[in-house]
Structures are given as C-alpha cells and as structure tokens.
Structure 1
C-alpha cells in the first residue's frame, strides 16, 4: 500500500470515524483532538480539524497542498490568522512585523499538523501492548497505524515492553473491529514524561563546557526524562509553573543508520506548562526540506510536541536521543514574538519564496534567523574553515567532475556555525541565555529590546534529556559539533556511507502565488573562487605580455647580425 493511500485512509476516514464515535458512547478518556487542548500558546478552541483538501479553509493553497491526506488544525473562521508580506525577504518581513503593534498579539498559524482526530488520555498499556485499560477500568483494544513502506524501522517487541504498564496519552482514532471498539494510535506519549518541577534541584553548570558534555553523555533507555535545573530567579520559592509560558530550544541527536544525519536536528518550541508539568501540547516549529519526501513521512510544519517526538513513524524519539533547554517565562511576549514571526516564515516557506538549503537555510539557520530578526543576536562562532574551503572546492570539483559538488563543500565550510550545526546553536543559545540572566548584570554587549525582555522575563532555565525509544532502528547518539567531528565519524570512502534515499517532491508551478519570485541558486563558482580565477588569468595575461615586451626590447637593442658589405 502506498504512502498516499495510507495517509488517505487514516486522514480522511478517521474524521468520519471520530464524528461517529463522538455521537456514540466513546470509552472513557477519548475526546476530540482540540477539546480543552492547547496548541502551543493558543487554546484549541480557536481551531477546527480539517484535511489539506478543504476548499473553505482560511489557509493559502500552497500550505494545504502538502497536507492533502493529513489531518490538520486550521484557524476557525473568526480567528486571526498569521499573514506575511509577498515579495519580501523572510527575515526583513519578520523584523518589519516585529516593529508594529500587531506583533504583541499572537495570530493563529495557518495550519498545525495534528495527524489524528482524537486524543485518549489516562490509559494504561497492558502486557503485549494490544490492550489499553481506560481511566474507568475497562479494557480497550489498541492498534498502531501502519508502518510507512519507506520507513526503515518500526515499533517492535522492545517498544511494547517499553510502554508496558505505563500510563499514556495517545493521539489516534476510535473505530471498531469485529463489533468491538478499537483505538488506532499514531502517537503514544508516556505520562511520566511530565516535568516534576517541584522536585527539581538547582544545579548550575560548573563551566561553559559542561552543557556540551551533558549532550555528549550517552543516555540509557529509562522511564521518564532526565531533568536538571540550570538557573532560577528566585531559589527556594515554590515553583508554581502551571500555565507559565515557555520557550524551548530543541536539539535532536544523530541517527544510527544515516550518516548524513550526524549533525542532528533543531527546532524551537513555544507553549505553556500544563497540569502536573505536562508539555505534550507545546508547539514545535519543525523545518524540513519540502522538496523531498521524507522516508518517515515528516513534513515541515508546526506540530504538537507529542507528535514531534513520539509519532510511531515520524517521531524523533524513535531514532535518536533528544535534548531541550526550557526557558520558563513570567511574561509571554518573547515567546509570542518568536511564534508570530516563525508563522510568517512558514507562509513564505510553503510558497517557495525561499528553499531549504542544507548549509545556508537548514532547520537551524531558519530558526536562528527568526531570533536574529527579532533582536536576539546570539554570539557567533564563525565559519569552520574559509581558507580550507578554497582548496576543498578545487579538490571536490576535480574529483567529482562537478562544480556543484565543490560549491557544496565550500558553502559548508564558510557558513556561520551557529546557523549550520544544531548542536553549536543549542550550546551558543544556552550559554548566551544564561549570560543574559546572570546575577552580576555584566553583559558582553549592548542589549536589544528583545534581549532585555529575555533578561527580565526568564524565571528559570532547565535542561531536559530524553533517551531514544527502543525499536527496530539502530541506536542514535549525540550530534556532531564540528565538521572535523563529522569527518571522523563517517567512512573515509564516501561510497561506504549509510545514506537513506528519498524521492523528489517538485513544487507545482500552478501554486506559485502573487508576488512570487523564484529564489535563484547561487553560482556553482563562488565569488572568491571566481576572483582568484580571474586574478590568475589576468596575471597570466600580464606575464605573457611582459615576456613579449621583454623580447621586443632585447631585439631592438642587440646589434644587427646581417652581413656587412665590403667596399
């Protein structure tokens, strides 16, 4: 069965199943995916569940095209919806918008990828993971959504043992099988993932290197998550964090079966602490390449945290460990500004005003750029090796007989590391955030308005580490922090690299909207290389002309060798 058919079956049919189930007597704990549910900083009541095939959604057609067979939440007809400025550079658009009064009020994103129409809360996974016990003590059959044909791994016995006996929250759809109700789960979120903020002990970093060390430290599969409080404004006071807004800096590790993923992944989350430290409803702004089809079914979108980490096909936790720095806020304005800004960027992204580029505009760079446009100027670490990039360009261009291949390595070695490497951005942002809130008040730079707000609004900073969920997939590890580390972890012979092939997803010309200007690809010959080449050519021409001039001068000054006439 193809990917699209699977999506259509679960996407379109489950909406009908959900409405049928809601009309009947649903098992305890089952509810609509938007009922009393947050989507990041916003209540679910401001959204409606649809699929990308809807014709009356207040959403640009370009955005909907990627989710034709997916269940999405779109703004209700009366809800304010995020806009954008056609023809404007994405970063300039965010900066201009942030300077207006409208930026203080968070509009609804054009869409949120929900994946399923219903939520089942408070259920316990019974042995064998085929049955759930609901909150009223009754048993309910459980199934998983099918494995995507392109997905290289899936849940197995180790996964079922991992969930066995634990209370969980599921996203999926209630249906029936042989006359019995059955819940088909797409996402399984353990209740013990909740952050027990009351028991956190203040454990500041010993030095600037410890944050990197904590990311590199291997994580063993465990129940719950590993948490550490790095800083709090009022030590010793009760932590009443329920409903407090948050900014989350999310880092995902390296996959164990894909050498091209060793850099990891990066995203920014916003939301509020839920009851008992729940964070499953935080909104994660997840950028992926729209021009290729992910083998795990991932599509770039704003998604609930439980989908982002624990979707059984696309969840990050099924193929690598994850790390998150959480800034707990006493005022939502910095989180609102980021979320409002990134929603404008998504609108540009879906219509291809700019394209995902693995060096210049990847998940890290796009996210960091939003903060830069708002005024958080994260200290830069510099490019990896500008001088080496010249030789690397020449070598790979000759080796692969491709200037494009040379351009690729040139771009990697010249890109600012806090925009290129997820782990470097995670470390740089964490270190800078701790510096901004430091008690000594000494700042290494003049602070922008946004940075002053961060300094004043952050109540606490905590580190969360989540181990990989056991499955048939190879174990992942910490992401690389440098290009040299990447080279040390892959075979020297690139033909031996483990690479996951993906299909292209060309953007339809018919969807190019008003004001669309196609982003130009950079020249395969970078300007410095062209400059060096031009200099060499001009130098060679000048040298040749000088040699020719020297020959003429010598010829003019030497005595004639013609025979002399004898009188």
Structure 2
C-alpha cells in the first residue's frame, strides 16, 4: 500500500472510531479517491481531495468557481514524463458507500454485513425547482445503490449526508446483450432518441448496435469514448434543445460506468439554478447529483464506443484539459449559438481530425427576418443578434441532438468501411481501428417533483412548435449573472458577439434598401427639375 493511500485509509478509520459506538461494525464508507476508485481514465490515488480555497493546487481562475465545492486535484505538479492530469475535477463530496440499499424511511443506508448508517440528503439549492420526493425514494429502494457524500457526526453518532445516489443496476453487460444493428429504414440514431417521448419513463436499457468480434466480448477494463445526449426539460421552455457532453473512462469488470469522466460545458457567467458549474465531473455526479444531476430533469441517451486501445479517448481528454483551462481564464465564453455545449465539444473533435460532415445553417434568409423581428419586438439589437445567430450557426455545433446523431452516423460509416468521401485523418484511422463495439444506452428520468422531460429538438421549427406562441407564457428560470473578477483576467478582453450594431448581411440589406430609396428620390428630383 502506498504511503498516501495508507494515510488516507488511516484517517478515515480514526474518523469512524471517533463517532461509531463500540458495538457497531464500521459501515463500508471509503475515501472517494482511494481503494481502487477511478476518475475516468485516471487512478483516483493520483489526486487528493480539496476545495477552491486550497491555495495554488490548481490555476486560480478555475479555483475561483469552486471556493466551497469538493474537488479532486493532482497530488504532484504536472510532469512532462507522465500523462498530464486535469487541473481539477468537481468531485462534490469526499466519501463513498460503494454498495447499500435505502431503508423504507429513506433515512438510513444498509450495507451488506454492516450496521445501518443514518442518512440525510444534501440540502436542496434554493432556486432549484425540483428535488427528491416519495417517488424518488421508491425508485431507489427497488435497487442497490452507490452513494457519494460526506460522513458526519450528529449527536455523537455517525451520519452520511448523501449528495449523489447511483443505481447499481445501471451497467453495460456485454454477456447479456445480443447484436441489434440499426436498420436502414426508420431505425436511426435520431429515431432512437425520439422513441417513447425520449425514454423519460422507459426502463434503463442497452443496445449493441455494432461489434467487431462477436465471439470476444471481454470489455472489462477497456477504455471508452462516450457521447452523452440529455433531453428536453419538461418545465423550462428555454431547455428544449437538451444538452451534450463527451465522457471518457474504463468499463468496470461487470460493466460499471459510474466513475467515467464527463466534460461538461455550461455558462460560467451566470449562476445555475441547479448549482451546475462547468467542469470535468464524475458520471455519477453528472447524472445523479440530487441538485445538479441531469437525470432529475430529463431523459438521456448515450452512445458508447468500447476501445481496444485507450489512445483515442486519451487524445480527446487531453484536449479537454487545455480547453477547460482557457475556458476558466475567459479566453473564450459560452455562447448559446456560437459556443455552446455541442459547439465546444464538436470543435474539439474537429481539431483532433474527426471531419464530421457539416449540415450548414438553418437559413440565412430567415436569419435576416428573425433579426428584424426580435430587434423590433424587444427593442434590442442584442436580441436581434441572438436570433440571427441561431439561424446562421452550423447545425452540428448548435443542436446537441444534431451533434449526437452526426457523430454517431459518421462513426458507423467509418466502422463499416463505407467511403465517407474524404481522406481519413490519423484520428479517424485510430477510431476505425480501435473501436471494438458500439452500445446505445437509454437512461430514464429519475422520478421527482420535476415534470417529466422528453426528447430534445433537432431544429428551430421543432423548438417553435413546442414552445408557447406567446413568449410571455414561456416557463423560464431567471438566473443572476456571475461577473468574472477583472484581476483574474490574463488575456485580452473578449469581443462581444453583438459588438457590431447589426450583422454584416443585415447591414448590407439595410444599406441596399436605403441606397435604393435615396436613388429613387434623387432620380425623381432630377425629373422634376
């Protein structure tokens, strides 16, 4: 056992000794970064637990966002001789209960061979519109769970404050799956996403859509590259587009995937009503955190590429380290049209050499009309700019659902040997050589006080068909701004997307109209003279 591992285990044992009654057996609570736990592609023991006040343990711009949040930070400075570690991972809480069931009351955890451990839930964030309720308790009581949280003492007794509850039956079991490729007619990735209203109330399910060697499904410990598409929220009319993220990690020996690393991009310049902060984050936190977990708000679909070699996933994860570093420094900002969760992720793939075919903008002509309508309606040029951006942005960068389908379809073509009409880059050749299997995963919404969500939209027309025609009736959750401190800026000030009075095409059209009017007036005066 490494010295740091032994020290952490010893500290946790002393903590138990100080709060557990002598007659009780210690519950199987462990430090979240020890005992073989992983953070995606990395060994958890390469990190230590801290928070944003750790002072120099990570870049100060990144730490500013996590001052009171639990983090995993590298134990040692980066070395050119070793694979670079992320500057930080938003861990949330320092302890894990690897396996337990919830008591009927929901106020205790029962682990095999251990005394019951009192449990309470992490507090609900004030602006959060939903939370754990009786339906949630019923959902988790039907299965064994993995719980991330904080071991505390209450009146001299041990108590576990649960922050994330993960269903242990959510596995990718290679042995139980039969091959079920996507058919040519009507059975597509887009159709799978849309099935049964996005799968919000469907059971958890996996589908093997492609495999290289049917007789050899030894996937335990294999690296993965996963595309995550989260659906539309059921009671937020600004959230029909869904969310997109890319995860890396390794499959557990029994198909476990709670410890994969998700690269989650959100707007840093406002406070999320759910407490979400853009970051690298473990999968259990990303999907199942009681406040910020995606599954409490909507259903999700995931496409998992099981890899024979980790290099393809490692290349993507390394690119994310630099991208997050620049994001925290505000070298670029989150933009709902030009740099959202889908756009940032797609840009990273394209920079690596994955030449996913573009689908073009929605309509440049409609963009001009949308600009004029919104600018006049809201008496705001910025509002016009925003509408214009939605119609002119490349659709694989704008819509999470389009990005998910485009990446998946292109990958299937690469694996099938179908000529994609281009010379393959080195990264695309790696993808074609390394992928052993592709698995679709349907992840239902966790029942809670939140309305059930649905499939995300694939176009502006779909969005407008769902949203109330009267924008005043839209359900919107206002969020306060989070200004970035000027003293933390190290680069030049960012140019605003709407810094020009009007977009160039709109300006050109207006100049043409004005010019035509002036010309007509001048010709009329000459004739009159």
Band the TM-score falls in, shorter-chain normalisation? over 0.9
Distance in 1, Cα, partners of 2:407 & 2:41: 22
Distance in 1, Cα, partners of 2:52 & 2:253: 32
Q: Would you say how many aligned residue pairs link Structure 1 and Structure 2?
A: 511
The corresponding residue for 2:377 is 399
Q: What CA deviation, in whole Å up to 9, does each residue of 1:396-440 have, x standing for no partner? A: 2222222222111111011111101101111111111100100x4
Question: Aligned in 2, Cα 1:370/1:78: closer, same or farther, shift over 3 Å?
Answer: same
Alignment of 1:391-540 (within 5 A): 391-438=369-416, 440-513=417-490, 515-522=491-498, 523-540=500-517
The corresponding residue for 1:278 is 256
The corresponding residue for 2:207 is 228
Contact 1:359–1:412 (Cα < 8 Å) also in 2: yes
Contact 1:18–1:174 (Cα < 8 Å) also in 2: no
Question: Aligned in 2, Cα 1:220/1:150: closer, same or farther, shift over 3 Å?
Answer: closer
Question: Aligned in 2, Cα 1:411/1:18: closer, same or farther, shift over 3 Å?
Answer: farther
Distance in 1, Cα, partners of 2:139 & 2:275: 23
TM-aligned CA deviation for residue 537 of structure 1: 2.6
Distance in 1, Cα, partners of 2:394 & 2:16: 51
Question: Where do 5+ consecutive residues of structure 1 fail to align?
Answer: 1-16, 82-101, 553-567
Distance in 2, Cα, partners of 1:134 & 1:545: 88
Q: What CA deviation, in whole Å up to 9, does each residue of 1:17-66 have, x standing for no partner? A: 96862675783321111012111111111111110011131x11100000
TM-aligned CA deviation for residue 80 of structure 1: 3.8
TM-aligned CA deviation for residue 275 of structure 1: 2.4
Contact 1:18–1:117 (Cα < 8 Å) also in 2: no
Question: Aligned in 2, Cα 1:63/1:286: closer, same or farther, shift over 3 Å?
Answer: same
Contact 1:355–1:361 (Cα < 8 Å) also in 2: yes
Asked if 1:383 corresponds to 2:364, the answer is no
TM-aligned CA deviation for residue 79 of structure 1: 4.0
The corresponding residue for 2:41 is 41
Distance in 1, Cα, partners of 2:412 & 2:112: 42
TM-aligned CA deviation for residue 194 of structure 1: 1.5
TM-aligned CA deviation for residue 519 of structure 1: 3.3
TM-aligned CA deviation for residue 380 of structure 1: 1.2
Name the SS of the counterpart of 1:331 in structure 2. Answer: coil
The corresponding residue for 1:21 is 15
Asked if 1:50 corresponds to 2:29, the answer is no
Q: What CA deviation, in whole Å up to 9, does each residue of 1:170-216 have, x standing for no partner? A: 11011122332111110001110111111111000012642212111
Q: Which is worse superposed, 275-284 or 402-411?
A: 402-411
Distance in 2, Cα, partners of 1:56 & 1:362: 29
Q: What CA deviation, in whole Å up to 9, does each residue of 1:113-144 have, x standing for no partner? A: 00000111111222122121112242111111
State which structure, 1 or 2, has the greater radius of gyration over its C-alpha atoms.
1
Name the SS of the counterpart of 2:495 in structure 1. Answer: coil
Question: Aligned in 2, Cα 1:393/1:520: closer, same or farther, shift over 3 Å?
Answer: closer
Distance in 2, Cα, partners of 1:176 & 1:165: 28
The corresponding residue for 1:288 is 266
Question: Aligned in 2, Cα 1:441/1:403: closer, same or farther, shift over 3 Å?
Answer: closer
Distance in 2, Cα, partners of 1:414 & 1:209: 29
Distance in 1, Cα, partners of 2:306 & 2:396: 23
TM-aligned CA deviation for residue 391 of structure 1: 1.5
The corresponding residue for 1:75 is 74
TM-aligned CA deviation for residue 502 of structure 1: 0.6
Q: What CA deviation, in whole Å up to 9, does each residue of 1:443-493 have, x standing for no partner? A: 332211111111111111110010000111111111111100100001100
The corresponding residue for 2:136 is 159
TM-aligned CA deviation for residue 381 of structure 1: 1.5
Question: Where do 5+ consecutive residues of structure 2 fail to align?
Answer: 1-10
Question: Aligned in 2, Cα 1:128/1:22: closer, same or farther, shift over 3 Å?
Answer: closer
Name the SS of the counterpart of 1:74 in structure 2. Answer: strand
Alignment of 1:84-483 (within 5 A): 106-207=83-184, 209-210=186-187, 211-218=189-196, 219=199, 221=201, 225-235=204-214, 237-438=215-416, 440-483=417-460
Question: Aligned in 2, Cα 1:71/1:220: closer, same or farther, shift over 3 Å?
Answer: closer
Contact 1:227–1:465 (Cα < 8 Å) also in 2: yes
Contact 2:26–2:114 (Cα < 8 Å) also in 1: no
Q: What CA deviation, in whole Å up to 9, does each residue of 1:49-99 have, x standing for no partner? A: 110011131x11100000000010111124449xxxxxxxxxxxxxxxxxx
Distance in 2, Cα, partners of 1:141 & 1:208: 53
Contact 1:396–1:402 (Cα < 8 Å) also in 2: yes
The corresponding residue for 1:11 is none
Question: Aligned in 2, Cα 1:267/1:166: closer, same or farther, shift over 3 Å?
Answer: same
Distance in 2, Cα, partners of 1:408 & 1:550: 44
Distance in 2, Cα, partners of 1:71 & 1:56: 15
